[in-house]
Structure 1
């Protein structure tokens, strides 16, 4: 692309200024071309097109020497300022990208972030004291798409295809109900019987409103018709409804198992497997991530992957924290 068309290409404008400065400093098109590893005709044409674009005569040519015009002297001073600012920006960016320092805006589901991520992030910041993390708790991904968030953790069956994501674990699920509900309504023996039961269904982002089951022995797969007595966008509400006997609920096993041990919930259709939603780290792009973000991705991913889907160094939640596993 010619310098005359440089209004379409900022890098061409900068290159033209670098060529002009090299010619002015060496008083020679030939020596400037050698220093820039370009041919002399390319350098000559670049300066001519820059002059045409600016509407100024920058250099006075003769058979013996090249000299700056008065306009050229003023243009050279400004060109050096632009080139210097660009070089300072590049040096600062390279240094910043090579250091584990700076701000990271990290988004996560509210309860999950509080219960699971806070200790993990504290550990990371202890290792990298120059990093500051802004933990944003919420379920929406809009902030990731508009660039306001550097990294997000999301739990979902599927994610939109345009997102860049790394799966770092999964959340084993099961169906549960309060013993009082099952005494009153009966214990379903197969998924097809769910049509006659009240079901408490998750309606949050990334959730599947259909319940799917597969039998590990018969290999049967089914997606039964549900009677949705209650829909909620938060797993705490599903858990509370199940404990109150409002219906059957699909819950994370890690959340429900302590209640089963206390006799507050009972597994339903335990012989059938339910799809486990994935735990994903979501970010804007795979390349050109600042080092601090790459390090945090690896830190969180290692904790989850080495723990079989949950952070290895964190204990299972106490009873008070048991509802703080998912959004």
Structure 2
């Protein structure tokens, strides 16, 4: 029998002085109540009640146990009430990770969330490795990838268009490629953040031509920011998300090349350890981020000067 139920039955017997009356209160038979009290006596190793044909009286030990049982049951009731209240209130701390390159995108979203939910705090760790959610106690991790392993619980909340970019100084020195087949003649800065060097894929939406150019270069790194900095300083051509290069394009330190050729969009995911019994604060942040990136897509082309995409392919 459930231990809390056993304690509750004993408490009612003690208060009413009767197995039968206690049974009526709990909707069970008198034999069930009697067996529960006997089981409790056996567990504690003391006699709790004196039984007569008409009445049940507590022993001295029973009176002492009753006080403790009442405290346990009251504590349980308070715990349940507190849990129900907490479950309905958006409060507490959320531990979250996001890629380093997301700082300009995720920080405004989190700031808006905190303004909406003042009783919540967010511990936001910016790093490219998401880590072990369970082992590190992470509630939520933002990931950017073309896809994720089936073993991960994830929700897609947006996409990040990619483009091919270079600095004006590099293009003046090496020339502007007019077709993806020419990329093998250039210094190409490559990303290997998914455990291996990521191949470049370029597609032409008009002709449906798809090319995987044979690219090579002197820099391979797992950091989008490192690739961006190297490209700005004229180290070579680079494929990066538009949201990451938008500031450099506004400043004129990077321009888009082969603008008519597109790379498959990266997908933006939120990953978490379980869908069951998520704290309300975590569910609220998931919905907030999903709505934020739906209303603020990670495609900043509306703020990029038109002439930035005119080199090569146009």
Bin of the TM-score, shorter chain as denominator length: 0.7 to 0.9
Q: Given that residues 204 and 261 in structure 2 are in contact (C-alpha distance below 8 angstroms), is that contact kept between their aligned partners in structure 1? A: yes
| Residue of structure 1 aligned with 2:12, choices 17, 22, 25 | 22
Cα distance, 1:101–1:189 mapped onto 2, change above 3 Å:
same
Cα distance, 1:294–1:316 mapped onto 2, change above 3 Å:
farther
Q: Which segment is superposed worse, 175-184 or 230-239?
A: 175-184
- 1:216 to 2:205 alignment: yes
* Shift of residue 265, structure 1, vs aligned partner: 3.2
Distance 1:94 1:273 in 2: 51
* Equivalent residue, structure 2, for 1:164: 153
Distance 1:266 1:279 in 2: 24
Q: Given that residues 212 and 222 in structure 1 are in contact (C-alpha distance below 8 angstroms), is that contact kept between their aligned partners in structure 2? A: yes
Q: Deviations over 1:153-212 (max 9, x none)?
A: 232223343433222111110122234444555555554554454321223358872333
Cα distance, 1:212–1:48 mapped onto 2, change above 3 Å:
farther
Distance 2:10 2:197 in 1: 61
* Equivalent residue, structure 2, for 1:104: 94
Aligned CA-pair RMSD: 3.2
Cα distance, 1:186–1:75 mapped onto 2, change above 3 Å:
same
| Residue of structure 2 aligned with 1:243, choices 219, 232, 237 | 232
Q: Deviations over 1:124-171 (max 9, x none)?
A: 333333333333222333353225233332322233434332221111
Q: Deviations over 1:223-282 (max 9, x none)?
A: 444425312222121012122332221111233355456554343443332122222223
TM-score, normalisation: structure 2: 0.81
Distance 1:148 1:177 in 2: 40
* Equivalent residue, structure 1, for 2:277: 288
| Residue of structure 1 aligned with 2:295, choices 286, 306, 314 | 306
Please, which runs of 5 or more residues in structure 1 have no aligned partner?
4-11, 318-327
Distance 1:282 1:191 in 2: 35
After TM superposition, where is structure 1 displaced by more than 6 Å over at least 4 residues in a row? none
Q: Deviations over 1:286-320 (max 9, x none)?
A: 34333333222222221211223479xxx969xxx
**Structure-to-structure mapping, 1:243-282, within 5 angstroms:** 243-257=232-246, 259-260=248-249, 263-282=252-271
* Equivalent residue, structure 2, for 1:61: 51
TM-score, normalisation: structure 1: 0.78
- Partner of 2:244: helix, strand, or coil? helix
- 1:47 to 2:23 alignment: no
Distance 1:253 1:182 in 2: 19
Distance 2:134 2:299 in 1: 26
- 1:146 to 2:135 alignment: yes
Q: Which segment is superposed worse, 212-221 or 300-309?
A: 212-221
* Shift of residue 13, structure 1, vs aligned partner: 2.6
Please, which runs of 5 or more residues in structure 2 have no aligned partner?
305-314
* Equivalent residue, structure 2, for 1:71: 61
